[in-house]
A and B are shown apart, each in its own frame.
Chain A
């Protein structure tokens, strides 16, 4: 008897080949049969008529590290159809890590992920130090699969000590010790090593990985070469020329050690319009040489968010505003409350009564839930005032605590982003899911891929889009047994409506430990999510208690 029978689906198998109609049978956590008409019987049947049946999506750039320890489903990623996540990105992983280094690593995570103290402090029992014990801690605990990277920063801390790791280059003996430690991680199931040339700790001091000389990276890449594993890098993405130099460096490591490499982020902006094309040209040249240097590109646009607590550069074109916001807090509050200054600010932002500049700004977070998600144009109209006045008044009402959002400020032009993510050299990823949680929602990029670039822009076919986030991802990362719908492979399956799959609206949620806040987006158009043959989420029933996730490479 089959465990699950999915009937009458439009099967998109992750290879990019044309979809076909048929049934799928699942037994013992595996795909028993793909295609044809199955007679059953089955313990559970799903009618997929009119819906797509695809491999579970794989997210190659997440920060689901601490969160997985108290949220087995990595909500809301799972309900978007994500069945495998790569964590431990950007040089930071929860292992290998000595107990005495935990406070320091937690501080770094808080800086990068914006996780509250409570997410680490008492939210889970930290029982491991070695990577093998971390992998053991994940077993039986998670609802989706985890493909963990070993972080370069904790690797350095383990070998050199916390202080020295963040101070200097490693000695030859220390490099050899790091090689041995990385070997242990890869043996235990790590899918590679992550490092960063950009990230900062809580004191805005470079994270340990940034103190490594090339000899250290080269030596660690040699160990990756023994296993054919991935090197993930955050390059100096704020400068095109330095990024090009990193692409060349990654290519040399790839060729020398026979490893795949990937870097992120790479994103488009009207202010640096040639950035992406120059980087992609160089990536293409290096692929021609036989190197593997995969740029990860996100699907979603980039927003700018701010409150009046700090002087955001968003206001730099308005000197009166920018100078006021740069004042010490007490003077700033007095100035914003002063009728003359207030009127001067309004006049500067709305010359001649033109209220367009701030009308599109949305309230991202407020103590008044009825304001969240609404734009200042609407709110101003309701209050018989102007958007600039509403911006000031709302901020003063909540002691400058109200957050505003200017949407789609970068990476937002579908005519540029569509062809980019369809490019064969581009690895769709960089969602950063689980990071920046108090600034914006990093969930639903997969739904956005289908709604924006398949249905609306026609930049990718349905099959191409599915391949980009399933079979191709598994191939790039060397994740065995997943990413395709093929008999005998692991039964990670998502059923969705191709006409409605999308990301929901961004909203604040207070679902972190001790009621901490983050931004989330629910899924739209996803019907069923199956991991290793077990139902983990459905539109009708929500999340289940199943914990079928495994460490994908262990």
Chain B
């Protein structure tokens, strides 16, 4: 059964002046939410998804996102 997927990912300015990646997740019921990743988490997400650019993340399962978030 397909779960939530990454719908979009865009670069934004962070509070501390660093660039961050805002990843939007679309759930099966149509609901959307966003998670902000720092440079390190974003790098690991790209690697896990075998993605070169942010737009390559579209359609990837959100499990990849869960895997890179700090615990």
Chain A positions within 8 Å of B, measured between CB atoms, are 237-241, 265, 267, 269-272, 302-306, 310-314, 316-317, 319, 322-323, 326, 409-411, 436, 439-440
List chain A residues, Cβ under 8 A from B13: 269, 302-304, 409-411
With contacts A269-B22, A271-B12, A311-B43 known, what are 4 further pairs, Cβ within 8 A?
Answer: A302-B14, A305-B18, A313-B18, A313-B21
User: Residue on B with the closest CB to A319?
Assistant: B52
> Given that A314-B11, A317-B54 are known contacts, is A241 also in contact with B19, CB under 8 Å in the complex?
no
Quote the shortest CB–CB distance from B42 to chain A (angstroms).
Answer: 6
Give complex CA distance A313, B15 in Å.
Answer: 14
List chain A residues, Cβ under 8 A from B11: 271, 313-314, 316-317
A-B contact pairs, 28 of them (CB 8 A): A238-B35, A239-B33, A239-B35, A265-B15, A269-B13, A271-B11, A302-B13, A302-B14, A304-B17, A305-B17, A306-B18, A311-B43, A312-B18, A312-B39, A313-B19, A313-B21, A314-B19, A316-B53, A317-B11, A317-B53, A317-B54, A326-B43, A410-B12, A410-B13, A411-B13, A436-B16, A439-B17, A439-B18
Q: Are A323 and B52 in touch, CB under 8 angstroms? A: yes
Q: Are B34 and A302 in touch, CB under 8 angstroms? A: no
Q: Are B17 and A240 in touch, CB under 8 angstroms? A: no
Q: Are A272 and B18 in touch, CB under 8 angstroms? A: no
Give complex CA distance A322, B42 in Å.
Answer: 12
List chain B residues, Cβ under 8 A from A312: 18-19, 39
Quote the shortest CB–CB distance from B13 to chain A (angstroms).
Answer: 4
List chain A residues, Cβ under 8 A from B5: none
Give complex CA distance A306, B18 in Å.
Answer: 7
Residue in B14, B17, B18 with the greatest tally of chain A CB atoms within 10 Å: B17
Give complex CA distance A38, B36 in Å.
Answer: 58
List chain B residues, Cβ under 8 A from A410: 12-13
Q: Are A272 and B17 in touch, CB under 8 angstroms? A: no
Give complex CA distance A319, B42 in Å.
Answer: 14
List chain A residues, Cβ under 8 A from B10: 271
Interface residues of B in 29-46 (CB under 8 A from A): 33-36, 39, 42-43, 46
Q: Are B22 and A241 in touch, CB under 8 angstroms? A: no
User: Residue on B with the closest CB to A440?
Assistant: B17
B19's partner among A304, A411, A439 (CB-CB below 8 A) is A304
Give complex CA distance A304, B17 in Å.
Answer: 5
Quote the shortest CB–CB distance from B37 to chain A (angstroms).
Answer: 8
Give complex CA distance A305, B15 in Å.
Answer: 11
Let me know if B20 is at the binding interface, CB within 8 A: yes
List chain B residues, Cβ under 8 A from A317: 11, 53-54
Q: Are A238 and B20 in touch, CB under 8 angstroms? A: yes
Quote the shortest CB–CB distance from A368 to chain B (angstroms).
Answer: 22
Quote the shortest CB–CB distance from A264 to chain B (angstroms).
Answer: 9
Residue in B16, B36, B46 with the greatest tally of chain A CB atoms within 10 Å: B16
List chain B residues, Cβ under 8 A from A238: 20, 35-36
Give complex CA distance A317, B43 in Å.
Answer: 13
Give complex CA distance A310, B38 in Å.
Answer: 13
List chain A residues, Cβ under 8 A from B46: 316
Q: Are B33 and A241 in touch, CB under 8 angstroms? A: yes
User: Residue on A with the closest CB to B19?
Assistant: A313
User: Residue on B with the closest CB to A405?
Assistant: B17
Quote the shortest CB–CB distance from B63 to chain A (angstroms).
Answer: 18
B17's partner among A270, A311, A436 (CB-CB below 8 A) is A436
List chain B residues, Cβ under 8 A from A271: 10-12, 22
List chain A residues, Cβ under 8 A from B20: 238, 313
Give complex CA distance A313, B13 in Å.
Answer: 10
Q: Are A313 and B36 in touch, CB under 8 angstroms? A: no
Quote the shortest CB–CB distance from A56 to chain B (angstroms).
Answer: 27
Q: Are A311 and B39 in touch, CB under 8 angstroms? A: yes
Q: Are A313 and B39 in touch, CB under 8 angstroms? A: yes
A239's partner among B14, B34, B39, B52 (CB-CB below 8 A) is B34
Give complex CA distance A410, B13 in Å.
Answer: 6
> Given that A313-B11, A409-B13 are known contacts, is A240 also in contact with B52, CB under 8 Å in the complex?
no
List chain B residues, Cβ under 8 A from A267: 15
Give complex CA distance A545, B31 in Å.
Answer: 60
List chain A residues, Cβ under 8 A from B17: 302-305, 436, 439-440
> Given that A240-B34, A311-B43, A314-B11 are known contacts, is A439 also in contact with B22, CB under 8 Å in the complex?
no
